[in-house]
Amino acid sequence: MQSLQEKASEWSGVETDHAFAIDDTNLFQKLGIQTFINLSTNFYNRVYDDEEEWFRSIFAKSDKEKAIQNQYEFLVQRMGGPSLYSQTRGHPALIARHRPFPVTHEAAKRWLCHMQQALDNTSDIDQDSKIMLINFFSHTAYFLVAGVEQKNQSLHPCKDAPGRHPCKNF
């Protein structure tokens, strides 16, 4: 599993200690639940309206409202708030839960592109928090690419090596 961390750092350009700088402060206390609800709403509004059908289709089977709730409940829990996610769904088990989806390098880049825009367009997120969050999201996205790739090795070989800035190529 160590190699997943290494891949996540290499592909995202974010070292593990930077990715988990979110744990040095309590972003839930700092930002409050409504900010996370707004962020996830903003994010999924973009995702479900994406002009790229290949990306939009990844989420097509999921209800948007449910996706928003899943995400903000996870984020609230992960960022130091109450365990809203685990109370109903248990362990995040991030790799296992993403396994049904084509979590490719391209998908991670586009996911991060939307998240960066959502962060930039959600009020009340200060610059420091924004950096901590995007570092966490970037590292996590590629951690999932590496994890899901490992599980589906023979099914989805992804050999391209994307750069750090997700929006550049879109």
Convert residues 131-150 into a mask of x (bound to its own copies by CB under 8 A) and - (unbound): --------xx--x---x--x
Kindly state the number of chain residues that form the binding site for its own copies, as judged by CB under 8 A.
31
User: Please, what is the minimum distance in Å from the beta carbon of residue 76 to its own copies?
Assistant: 12
Residues 90-109 binding its own copies (CB under 8 A) are 90-97, 99
52 contacts its own copies (rule: CB under 8 A) = no
Which one of 86, 164, 165, 170 is in contact with its own copies (CB under 8 A)? 86
124 contacts its own copies (rule: CB under 8 A) = no
Contact window for its own copies (CB under 8 A) among 26-34, 54-62, 80-88, 116-124: 80-88
User: Please, what is the minimum distance in Å from the beta carbon of residue 115 to its own copies?
Assistant: 17
2 contacts its own copies (rule: CB under 8 A) = yes
SS3 letters across the chain: CHHHHHHHHHHHCCCHHHHHHHHHCCHHHHHCHHHHHHHHHHHHHHHHCCCCHHHHHHHCCCCHHHHHHHHHHHHHHHCCCCCHHHHHHCCCCHHHHHCCCCCCHHHHHHHHHHHHHHHHCCCCCCHHHHHHHHHHHHHHHHHHHHHHHHHCCCCCCCCCCCCCCCCCCC
Q: Supply angle C-alpha 50, 54, 60, rounded to 5.
A: 70
Query: Where do we find the tokens 């160590």?
Result: 2
17 contacts its own copies (rule: CB under 8 A) = yes
Residue ranges binding its own copies (CB under 8 A): 1-2, 4-5, 8, 16-17, 19-20, 23, 82-83, 86-97, 99, 139-140, 143, 147, 150-151
